[in-house]
A and B are shown apart, each in its own frame.
Chain A
Amino acid sequence: MARDDTSEVVRLEDVKRHYMVGGETVKALDGVSFTIGRGSYWAIMGPSGSGKSTLLNILGCLDRPTHGHYWLNGVDVAGMNDNQLSDHRLKNLGFVFQSFHLIPQLTVLENIEMPMFYLGVSPAERRRRARELAERVEMTHRLNHLPAELSGGQRQRVAVARALANDPAVLLADEPTGNLDSATSIQIMGLFQELYEQGKTVIVVTHEPDIDAYAKSHILVKDGLIKKIAN
């Protein structure tokens, strides 16, 4: 089922995610519903074990809900097969991870190019856009360096550039400052702020109130349920 309401980019309806562990059902998410409007800036907060990571995996199309529906960019993810899910991630999502997750053998430029490579963008166009994105995150001076030669903050900037390479509908950041010192954290959050101001939809998952404070809207997850939504 497709929804044509273009003002909302994420819509969850009674999403449940249950696991079977040793014959017992673990209810990681037990009926979650919310919508996120296009061009908004959200933070998802919650202590560890709250179901926050499960929610992140579902939002990131890495996992499917066992019950309910999730529309990302107007398309219902529930019932997609692995290939459809992969393609959906490739086209609509940009990931920023806590530990950067750059590919160590690839240079900065090659890391930024990677999503475009899977999208089938021509090599020349890939290179051009990767340089453009590197410029946007102020990493043009390190294009041919390997991730190991960069500082944490620089790696995260490269990761942001990579997340933008497919021009995603949603930028999904999982504890993006978890491995950074406070000065670098401020730089990275400033970058997200900039992207939000340019019209990107940003969702940051965190347990730090400082980071939560950057967002314009907030969701609190606890015990697999949403405790509070604040706009």
Chain B
Amino acid sequence: MNLDLTYYWPFIKLGATDVWRHKTRSFLTMLGMVFGVGSVIAMLAVGEGASQQALESIKRLGSQNIMVSSVKPAASVSAGSTQATQMEVYGLLDEDNARIKETVPGVSDTVPARMVRRAARYNDRALDLRVVETVPAWFDVVKRPILAGRVLKDEDCTGRANVCVLTEFGVRNLLAGEKVVGQHIRLGSALFEVVGIVKNETGGSVRAPDSDADVYISMDAGRRIFGIASIRWVSGTRQGEKLELSEIIVRMKSTAVVEPGAKAIAAMLKHFHKKPDFKIDVPLSLLREAEKTKRTYNIVLGAIAGISLLVGGIGIMNIMLASVTERTKEIGIRRAIGARKSRIVVQFLINTCVLSITGGAVGVVVGVAIPFAITLFSGMPTLIRLYSMVLAFGISVGTGVVFGLYPALRAASLDPIEALRHE
């Protein structure tokens, strides 16, 4: 193997001349490579864009967090009950929160929350909001930009003052441009002072702990004013439920202890809850899941790319076989002058590679242009990674070598005397 470039240069030049001399033929041959390489880069970019979006929304949940939430057990609705009021008691308890905090190893903090939908009023405007009764630590775990004022403080929990934090959405729809911080709104029967506004994240494919229609109040205020029972009129009967906590966000010390922590929490809760009235979501597992999906996607993509490059490669091989026939005499001359067979192989391999690499280079341009166009016209996020271009380029060289080998060997195996006589 000679690594001196000046050795290969005449062949590269010859290959390029050959490609140029048969412009139409070369162009048509290269189309296979162009589409093969182009589609690989474009599809990878679309896939990367989509998975990047999914991964980011999962990461927003916090990969160190475990989300424990209450679930209404379906079996507990006793059919044909004659009681006018059904009071259902289920879900996570304050004790669960305390137990998780104290007994599960690796827990750094827990954020309990109770969410109830209530009507919010300001003057004559009304808006259905999700009242999140929680602790100040919520805002450490669910990090959102503060637009005005402040978030909940420890004093809000012990004091008698009723304060709330609104979202940008709530402000726009309820207060509609009026002076916001310091304003009072009515939640249920009580008045709350708005002390701050946060910006909530909406969209994304994964359930986030917060929503735009949130209003945050301290847990103590919630208990003091609303209690833990809620009663609703549903088709003539009163339906009530008692729920201490809707959700506990458990923050672990590191991602390494997230999964064992989730297992320990599940085991502990199962012991104290006879009914299956809770569920555990681990964003880290979702993250793993998403990464696995991405891998599967990449394998499918690889298969498609492989097939298209195979088709492209066969096209190239076909044209190179024609080229060998066409250049039989040249091969004869070179052999007569004293070129070894291996020299002929190298020459034709380089010729094939010139063809496939040129096609690959055009394919890279196409593959970069397509995601740009997709993002421009559909707004779908795309992400072109350097590795996809390197990969595509490597594949076009590989295709050239693999599919050029047979024509090259055939060229070298020609008998010089016969080849010289060829017209």
Do B21 and A105 touch (CB < 8 A)? yes
Do A118 and B330 touch (CB < 8 A)? no
B14 within 8 A of A: yes
- Report chain B residues within 8 Å CB of A101: 329, 332-333, 336, 420
Within 8 A of B (CB), among A96-144: 97, 101-106, 110, 114-115, 117-118, 122-123
Q: How far is the CA of A114 from the CA of B330 in the complex (A)?
A: 12
With beta carbons under 8 angstroms apart, the residue of A57, A93, A103, A110 that contacts B338 is A93
Interface of B is mostly: helix
For chain B, which range describes its interface: under 10, 10 to 19, 20 to 34, or 35 or more residues? 20 to 34
B residues near A (Cβ < 8 Å) are 6, 9-10, 14, 17-18, 21, 329-330, 332-343, 416-417, 420
- Report chain A residues within 8 Å CB of B338: 86-91, 93, 115, 118, 166
Could you list 30 examples of A-B contacts with CB < 8 Å? A62-B416, A62-B417, A63-B417, A82-B341, A87-B338, A89-B336, A93-B338, A95-B336, A95-B337, A97-B420, A101-B332, A102-B333, A103-B333, A103-B334, A104-B330, A105-B14, A105-B18, A105-B21, A106-B14, A110-B10, A114-B337, A115-B337, A118-B334, A118-B337, A118-B343, A122-B6, A123-B6, A123-B9, A162-B337, A166-B338
Q: How far is the CA of A86 from the CA of B18 in the complex (A)?
A: 26
- Report chain B residues within 8 Å CB of A117: 10
- Report chain B residues within 8 Å CB of A62: 336, 416-417
Q: Which 8 A-B pairs have the closest CB atoms?
A: A90-B338, A89-B338, A86-B340, A101-B333, A118-B339, A115-B337, A62-B417, A83-B340
Nearest opposing residue in chain A for B335, CB measure: A86
- Report chain A residues within 8 Å CB of B339: 86, 90, 118
A60 within 8 A of B: yes
For chain A, which range describes its interface: under 10, 10 to 19, 20 to 34, or 35 or more residues? 20 to 34
Q: How far is the CA of A82 from the CA of B335 in the complex (A)?
A: 10
Nearest opposing residue in chain A for B342, CB measure: A83
Q: How far is the CA of A123 from the CA of B341 in the complex (A)?
A: 22
A158 to chain B, nearest CB (A): 13
19 further A-B contacts with Cβ under 8 Å, apart from A104-B330, A118-B339, are A60-B336, A62-B336, A82-B340, A83-B340, A83-B341, A83-B342, A86-B341, A88-B338, A89-B336, A90-B338, A90-B339, A101-B333, A103-B333, A105-B14, A106-B14, A110-B10, A114-B337, A118-B338, A122-B6
B302 to chain A, nearest CB (A): 38
Q: How far is the CA of A24 from the CA of B18 in the complex (A)?
A: 43
With beta carbons under 8 angstroms apart, the residue of A93, A105, A114 that contacts B334 is A114
Do B330 and A103 touch (CB < 8 A)? yes
Do B341 and A90 touch (CB < 8 A)? no
Known A62-B417, A63-B417, A110-B10: A105·B17 in contact at CB below 8 Å: yes
Do A90 and B337 touch (CB < 8 A)? yes
- Report chain B residues within 8 Å CB of A86: 335, 338-341
Q: How far is the CA of A89 from the CA of B336 in the complex (A)?
A: 7
B341 to chain A, nearest CB (A): 6
- Report chain A residues within 8 Å CB of B330: 103-105
- Report chain B residues within 8 Å CB of A87: 338, 340
Do A57 and B417 touch (CB < 8 A)? yes
- Report chain A residues within 8 Å CB of B334: 103, 114, 118
